[in-house]
Amino acid sequence: MPGDHRVNERIRVENVRLIDNEGNQRGVTTTREALALARSLDLDLVEIAPTAQPPVCRIMDYGKFKFDEAQKAKESRRKTQNVGVKEMKYRPKIGPGDFDTKTRLVEKFLTEGHKVKVTIMFRGRESAHPELGKKILDRIVERLVDVAKVESAAKLDGRNMIMVLGPEKKAKPKTDTVKTAVPESPATPPAAEATAAAHESQEEN
């Protein structure tokens, strides 16, 4: 990790196995000689394998090396970041336009790899009709059947009804194209062709 290496004068051993700035093995040399070579190239001497006998050092631009390592670590953390849980809230009496807009966002979250907590918010007397919320959730599942799987079935939580969806990629069945065969016109038998030719010859004579 960046900052974990001994650099230049911090390298206290007497001898090191040196790798130059072009990646060439230079063999075992004194630390003083290795540091002098690094200085002559306006670079740093960096201890990259402190437990080796003798320790392995490399000549490099340590500032650039730290930056590159930090970028790699950042990218690695980004790739291993836990999948987030998004939330989308609906009302039992949601209109068709709002339903479509919110459901498209849920689909977007799922295709990005996120889980989605779908919440139906009841107000006032609506809480006496949980079947309205269940109907909305069923519509969402039906709409997103190709990209979503139900990880937590619908359940009441206080004045809300909650369902959790997870991403699922289902292979769509392949549809075979049925080609309609066009029947070919029957070929004229050779005997019929010969008879017709003879008839035409007699007419000409």
Task: Flag whether 152 is in a domain.
Answer: yes
Task: Flag whether 139 is in a domain.
Answer: yes
Domain region containing 116: 85-167
Mark whether 26 and 71 lie in a shared domain: yes
Task: Flag whether 3 is in a domain.
Answer: no
Reduced to 3 states, what is the DSSP secondary structure of residue 52?
Answer: coil
Cα–Cα distance measured from residue 85 to residue 152, given in angstroms and rounded to the nearest whole number: 13
Between the alpha carbon of residue 19 and those of residues 15, 57, 70, 106, 111, the distances in Å are 13, 6, 22, 53, 47
Higher pLDDT, 172 or 101: 101
Cβ–Cβ < 8 Å for 48, 56: yes
Task: Flag whether 136 is in a domain.
Answer: yes
Cβ–Cβ < 8 Å for 59, 39: no
Mark whether 91 and 72 lie in a shared domain: no
Mark whether 24 and 69 lie in a shared domain: yes
Mark whether 62 and 28 lie in a shared domain: yes
Domain count for the chain, please give it. Answer: 2
Task: Flag whether 159 is in a domain.
Answer: yes
CATH code, 145: 3.30.110.10
Tell me whether residue 116 is exposed, middle or buried, using C-beta atoms within 10 angstroms of its C-beta: 0 to 12, 13 to 18, 19 or more.
buried
Q: Residue 38: which pLDDT band, with cuts at 50, 70 and 90? A: very high
Residue 182 confidence (pLDDT): 44
Q: Residue 196: which pLDDT band, with cuts at 50, 70 and 90? A: very low
Mark whether 100 and 58 lie in a shared domain: no
Task: Flag whether 199 is in a domain.
Answer: no
Task: Flag whether 117 is in a domain.
Answer: yes
Cβ–Cβ < 8 Å for 80, 63: no
Mark whether 67 and 120 lie in a shared domain: no
- Average confidence score pLDDT of the chain: 82
- For 44-74, what is each residue's pLDDT tens digit? 999 999 999 999 999 999 999 889 888 888 8
Mark whether 53 and 92 lie in a shared domain: no
Residue 126 confidence (pLDDT): 86
Higher pLDDT, 177 or 16: 16
Token duo for residue 154: 């619908």
Higher pLDDT, 130 or 181: 130
For residue 178, pLDDT beyond 70: no
Backbone angles phi, psi at 8, to 5 degrees: 55, -120
Residue 83 confidence (pLDDT): 59
Mark whether 99 and 61 lie in a shared domain: no
Cα–Cα distance measured from residue 12 to residue 37, given in angstroms and rounded to the nearest whole number: 17
Residue 170 confidence (pLDDT): 57
Mark whether 161 and 94 lie in a shared domain: yes
Mark whether 94 and 74 lie in a shared domain: no
Task: Flag whether 112 is in a domain.
Answer: yes
- Of 56, 78, 100, the last residue of a domain is 78
DSSP 128-195: G-HHHHHHHHHHHHHHTTTTEEEEEEEEEETTEEEEEEEE--PPPPPPPPPPPPPPPPPPPPHHHHHH
CATH code, 55: 3.10.20.80
